[in-house]
Amino acid sequence: DAKTTQPPSMDCAEGRAANLPCNHSTISGNEYVYWYRQIHSQGPQYIIHGLKNNETNEMASLIITEDRKSSTLILPHATLRDTAVYYCIVRAPNSGGSNYKLTFGKGTLLTVNP
Amino acid sequence: DAEITQSPRHKITETGRQVTLACHQTWNHNNMFWYRQDLGHGLRLIHYSYGVQDTNKGEVSDGYSVSRSNTEDLPLTLESAASSQTSVYFCASSDHDRPHEQYFGPGTRLTVT
């Protein structure tokens, strides 16, 4: 699985867009980019994933660069409840018989300030 | 609404006792997973299952066992609890077609004294 690099922390003002970057320069052609978050004392929560096209759902948007070496998760109107650690994970859809383990790195602690 | 639940949410037990943590999902997902989360180690996979009667060892399976007798449940058993197993345990599930889109339970905080 490709290695990912994220900033350790970011701040965002409530109501503003939060843009969380992730570098995955060694990503392979069949690997997807997944984003999860973990709010304090809760289980991880799936947010969104994509292969090469930009994706949007009710929670966030995912922008993947054309060369696929980096991506940005966008929370369009951050709220205090979005304060969490955000994880970028790269995985192939079916990893040739290996398990479907998710490897969470250190992620980015996003703090949304009032 | 479909959900994944874990029980108990908090448990204190003594060294050497057998402990079972419950995980129940109503997503009708084929895949189920148990992770533990510790400071400095992130989430580590203990056991996983791709369907009824299927179980597999993860990266930290020693001292743990699971069984999958139906689609909805994957109980995790600590055969003889050790202080090193003090942790927060998360259960997750995913659909066969979207294995990495995993839905996690709220967690069980286990303390072994």
> Can you spell out the DSSP letters for B47-95?
EEEEETTEEEE-TT-TTEEE--SSSSB--EEESS--GGG-EEEEEEEEE
Q: How many CB atoms lie within 10 A of CB B4?
A: 22
pLDDT band at A101 (very low <50, low <70, confident <90, very high): confident
Rounded to a whole number, what is the distance in Å from the CA of B67 to chain A's nearest CA? 17
Q: Is the pLDDT of residue A2 over 90?
A: no
Share above pLDDT 70 across residues of chain A, in percent, rounded to a whole number? 94
Span A38-60, pLDDT tens digits: 999 899 999 999 999 899 999 99
pLDDT band at A96 (very low <50, low <70, confident <90, very high): very low
Instruction: Give the residue carrying structure tokens 């701040």.
Output: A11
Q: Is the pLDDT of residue A97 over 60?
A: no
pLDDT band at A100 (very low <50, low <70, confident <90, very high): confident
8 A C-beta contact, residue A99 and residue B56: yes
pLDDT band at A75 (very low <50, low <70, confident <90, very high): very high
Please tell me if residue B36 touches chain A, with a CB cutoff of 8 Å: no
Peptide bond into B106 cis (omega under 30): no
Residues A100-114, mean pLDDT to the nearest whole number: 90
B112: left (phi over 0), alpha (psi -120 to 50) or beta: beta
CB contact (8 A) between residue B94 and residue A42: no
Please tell me if residue B75 touches chain A, with a CB cutoff of 8 Å: no
Rounded to a whole number, what is the distance in Å from the CA of A22 to chain B's nearest CA? 18
Q: For residue B47, how far is the Cα from the chain centroid?
A: 7
SS3 of B41, please? coil
Cα(A72)–Cα(B56) distance, integer angstroms: 34
- Residue B100 with chain A: CB contacts under 8 Å: 32, 34, 49, 89, 91, 93, 100, 102
What is the full per-residue pLDDT of chain B (113 aa) written as tens digits?
Answer: 779 999 999 999 999 999 999 999 999 999 999 999 998 788 899 999 999 999 999 989 999 999 999 999 999 999 999 999 999 999 999 998 888 899 999 999 999 99
Cα(A86)–Cα(A73) distance, integer angstroms: 9
Confidence at residue B1, expressed as pLDDT on a 0 to 100 scale: 79
